[in-house]
Amino acid sequence: MAFHHCHKDPVPQSGLSPERVQARRQLYAACAVCFIFMAGEVVGGYLAHSLAIMTDAAHLLADIGSMLASLFSLWLSTRPATRTMTFGWHRSETLGALASVVSLWIVTGILLYLAFLRLLHSDYHIEAGAMLLTASIAVCANLLMAFVLHQTGAPHSHGSTGAEYAPLEEGHGYPMSLGNTSVRAAFVHVLGDLLQSFGVLAASILIYFKPQYKVADPISTFLFSICALGSTAPTLRDVLLVLMEGAPRSVEFEPVRDTLLSVPGVRATHDLHLWALTLTYHVASAHLAIDSTADPEAVLAEASSRLYSRFGFSSCTLQVEQYQPEMAQCLRCQEPSQA
């Protein structure tokens, strides 16, 4: 891997790559479809007096929030860093994901309260025909969104640049661009929505043919609300990991340390820090204690190259210093404890 003095790439990437432009188009199309059918479900749920339909619409609202956050992060990723935002604007993606989760919790909480009231007082009427029609359209909408977001073939990449990101998922390998990551996440989310829409459709069919089983509507609301809240757990876990400056789950401390120690001339390493600036932007920093006969420039280049190629870090900051025997007893040079 070629380096330009201290940088991995001599010229920063400007604008969006063709792959990310395509990802943006897919997200725009899916977001538009999602918004139109979410509005339709709100109207249909209101006319049908169905809380299950409204719950499905709330889940679509969360989808819109997630896709808007991805689109916003794609746009912000092209903006350069400033003297006050030295890392750039990437973490806005995390804040957008957190806002999406909170909004889903609020809407779902309201719907759960209304469903509880319906279970206590059965003086409500379900327009089964309107509910069945709306649920059928919702299934078609999710199928259309899945088609728009579907990606054929495995993504292909030869490394990351300052504007590309490594995935947070478990496992190693070459980093995946933000466009691929965002579209894939949206696609998986839509598949979950599709299963929920089939559940609402099944409840509407039951109520249509057996109106006396209208209690299926609030019961479905409870079940699908639990699913909707449960679907936010991975997002919330990742958001908390980022906000707490935690190490990416796909990058472990020991392999990175051993990789640095395997560089010729490196005797010890300390102050090794790994963190996820965002869900897909991984950063590393460390001090390398080298032999007095080692070439600091050669050590720096080799260590940086290994970190970029093996772990897909987006940014690495390494400080090279001469090894001192007292480092072995220095408390501040010891490795952190296990979590």
Question: Radius of gyration of the chain from Cα atoms?
Answer: 25
Between residues 339 and 155, which one has the greater pLDDT?
339
Are 253 and 272 a contacting pair, CB within 8 Å? yes
What CATH class has 18-153+180-244?
mainly alpha
Cα gap 124→211, rounded to integer Å = 12
1, pLDDT greater than 50:
no
Task: Quote the percentage of the chain above a pLDDT of 70.
Answer: 83
d(CA 193, CA 142): 7
Q: Classify 253-329 by CATH class.
A: alpha beta
Q: What is the largest CA-CA distance in the chain?
A: 86
Question: Which DSSP letter does residue 198 get?
Answer: H
Compute the distance between CA of residue 131 and CA of residue 44 in angstroms, rounded to an integer. Answer: 7
Which tens digit of pLDDT belongs to each residue from 196-237? Answer: 788 888 888 998 898 888 888 888 888 888 877 887 788 788
* pLDDT class of 299 with cuts at 50, 70, 90: very high
C-alpha span between 199 and 55 (Å, rounded): 12
Query: Residue 337: which pLDDT band, with cuts at 50, 70 and 90?
Result: confident
Express each pLDDT in 146-166 by its tens digit.
Answer: 888 775 443 433 333 333 333
Any idea where the domains of the chain sit in the sequence?
Answer: 18-153+180-244, 253-329
- 333 and 327 Cβ atoms separated by less than 8 Å: yes
Overall average pLDDT of the 278-286 stretch: 86
User: How far apart are the two ends of the chain, measured CA to CA in Å?
Assistant: 34
Environment class of 80 (CB within 10 Å of its CB; exposed 0-12, middle 13-18, buried 19+): exposed
